[in-house]
Amino acid sequence: MTTAQKDFSVIREEFPILNQKVNGHPLIYFDNAATTQKPAIVIKNLGAYYLINNSNIHRGAHTLADRATGMFEATRKAVQAFINAPEAEECIFTKGVTEGINLVAQTWGRKFLQEGDEVIITYMEHHSNIVPWQMICEEKGAILKVVPIFENGELDLEAYKNLLSARTKLVSCVWASNALGTINPIKEIIDLAHQNEAVVLIDGAQAGSHIPIDVQAMDMDFLVLSGHKLYGPTGLGVLYGKRALLEAMPPYQGGGEMIREVSFSGTTYNDIPFKFEAGTPNIADVIAFKYALEFVNQIGKETIIEFENSLLNRFVAGIDSLNTKFGSNRIKLIGTAANKVAVQSFTIEGKHHFDIGMMLDAKGIAVRTGHHCTQPLMDFYKIEGTVRASFAFYNTLKEVDVLLEALEKIASR
Amino acid sequence: MTTTEIQDEIIDDFSLFDEDMESKLFYLMDLGKKLPAMPSEHQTENYIVKGCQSKVWLFPVFEDGKLFFEADSNTEITKGLVSLLIKVWSGKTPEEIMATDLYFIEKIGMSRMIGSQRSNGFSSMIKQIKMYAFALLSKENN
């Protein structure tokens, strides 16, 4: 066992949920792209908030309210550092990535998109980065353009360049594909868009837990992140936006917290981030999220990537040798880009992904099956769906071997 | 045999597997393979019971006051369950079908295949059969 593997086996112990049996077998959790498990420190602090500090924030002149407000805003600062944002105020808490994208579509889009304008997305977007744009484009008479991909799951950058024009107002692109694992060259995508004076939104749902983030170095306009895919609680996400953009946008929802003054003759709005955080926010989860970010920082993204890649490589090599054994490509890998996060989709000849998922579950192995909310992408590959194994740093090489063994049995049947 | 007797027999068969989910699934898939082939002219959009992940084709025949079913599925496990449902309900009167308390699915450890899981055509199939039975009953009563 290498030092890295030994260290990660210690880190694994911080995830109490992994220590259980499912259908009589030790749980092997390979559905990390859907949601990651939570370290004990996050769970503990989630509970501690309700046990000790529960109070509404940004109001109440009492000690508990002060404490809760301080902890809530401390997470905002932690997020700022995590993505290297210039200001904490540019980090808005949302319900998740879906809400973040809808927020931008419904505020920035509603104000700035006009008839004939173009919005560019890619073929590998999650439905949550397709539908909000379809909705606002339809409303505004704007046109949605889609960047094609190659068979291996990489973006066709030449086609992207050709789609860009003076009519392009916004580009919304996934950083790492949830179905394929492809890491897109977002710096290049952003720079090209900026040369055309288009604004860029980056969907960091999958990238957040794997790739180091520097919104300034990348010159990101908007970035959306998910809390629960980053070892944090569910129902929580982050929208980063450049101050000038956020200030130019109208509010998303009306209510408490987002106002400066309200009268029946009119209302003035609060400054960012509060302008976009109407109502009592998800205080407990935001507070606990800080501990998830610290947990990831302590390990370090580079270390995480290196180890997760070893899991992915073991899996891909294992499938290759199974296919050699079968004498045919019975297990087909979907998504074979050169630069990937630790996500691998595949299909097995003559087997339905639903059956494969059920049979793996019978062995205690949790994977995702289906279209992964990327139906256009499935249409591109002319398949109904895939089985997707997605790895995290608490997984082990041995677990990958158990999956490979189970797949050999299924494919041989 | 009554629907209750048939269900008890199925539960008895599955009790051999105890908690071994894998063997249970293999057995289900084998049962599915034994399901008589559904004529392809009946495997059309009109007779599809859609789920997000698995599809079921269901073709009902009403003869001598009894309902008979031809069925198929695109997934092997669902097809196995479909074969069990047909075992319970095919050849029964609409009254018997409407009155059935369908408890065998849960008892053989397959409760996830019914209920709120929109992913499964099997759940929709149960509703569909009950709808046929209900429609026939209403027609008889009019």
Tell me the C-alpha distance between B86 and B73, whole Å.
13
Taking one residue from A and the other from B, the number of pairs with CB-CB distance under 8 angstroms is: 38
CATH of the domain at B7: 3.90.1010.10
- What are the catalytic residues of A? 373
Residue type, B107: K
| Average pLDDT value for residue range A119-135 | 97
Please tell me which residue of chain B has the smallest CA distance to A373.
B52
- Asked if the Cβ–Cβ distance from B75 to A359 is below 8 Å, we say no
Region A65-83: what's the mean pLDDT?
A: 97
Judged against a pLDDT cut of 60, whether residue A272 lies above it is answered with yes
Q: Could you tell me the residue ranges of all domains in chain A?
A: 3-30+300-412, 43-298
Averaged confidence pLDDT in chain B: 88
CATH (residue range A43-298): 3.40.640.10
For residues A364 and A27, the answer to whether their CB atoms sit within 8 Å is: yes
Distance CA A223, CA A97 (A): 9
ipTM over 0.85: yes
CB nearest A354 (choices: B22, B24, B75): B75
CB atoms inside a 10 Å sphere around CB B107: 15
Which of B19, B22, B77 lies at the smallest CB-CB distance from A355? B77
- CB-based contact A358 B19, cutoff 8 Å: no
Instruction: For residue A10, count CB atoms less than 10 angstroms from its CB and return exposed for 0-12, middle for 13-18, buried for 19 or more.
Output: exposed
Q: Identify all chain B residues contacting A351, using CB atoms and an 8 Å cutoff.
A: 76
Residue B42 in domain: no
Q: Are residues A385 and B54, on separate chains, in Cβ contact within 8 Å?
A: no
Quick one: pLDDT at residue A59?
80
Instruction: Give B-chain residues touching A358 at CB under 8 angstroms.
Output: 25, 77
**Average of per-residue pLDDT values in chain A:** 96
Residues spanned by the domain of B109: 3-34+48-141
Structure tokens that stand for A353 in this block: 């992904």
Top pLDDT among B58 and A179 is at: A179
* Homologous superfamily (CATH) for A3-30+300-412: Aspartate Aminotransferase, domain 1 (3.90.1150.10)
Range 4-23 of B in CB contact (< 8 A) with A: 19-22
CB neighbours of residue A115 within 10 Å: 8
Choose among A351, A352, A359: nearest Cβ to B25: A359
Residue A238 pLDDT > 80: yes
Helix (H, G, I), strand (E, B) or coil at A134: helix
Neighbouring CB atoms inside 10 A of B8's CB total 15
The one-letter amino acid at A258: M
Q: Which residues of A touch B53 (CB under 8 A)?
A: 353-354, 369-370, 385
Is the pLDDT score of B121 beyond 80? no
Task: Give the three-class secondary structure for B73.
Answer: strand
Look at residues A139, A28, A72, A119 and name the one whose alpha carbon lies nearest to residue A362: A28
pLDDT tier, B47 (very low <50, low <70, confident <90, very high otherwise): confident
Number of domains in chain B: 1
Do A209 and A296 form a contact (C-beta atoms < 8 A)? yes
pLDDT score for A390: 98
Sorted by sequence, the CB contacts under 8 Å of residue A151 that are 6+ apart come out as: none
Question: CATH topology of A3-30+300-412 equal to that of A43-298?
Answer: no
Q: Does B86 touch chain A (CB under 8 A)?
A: no
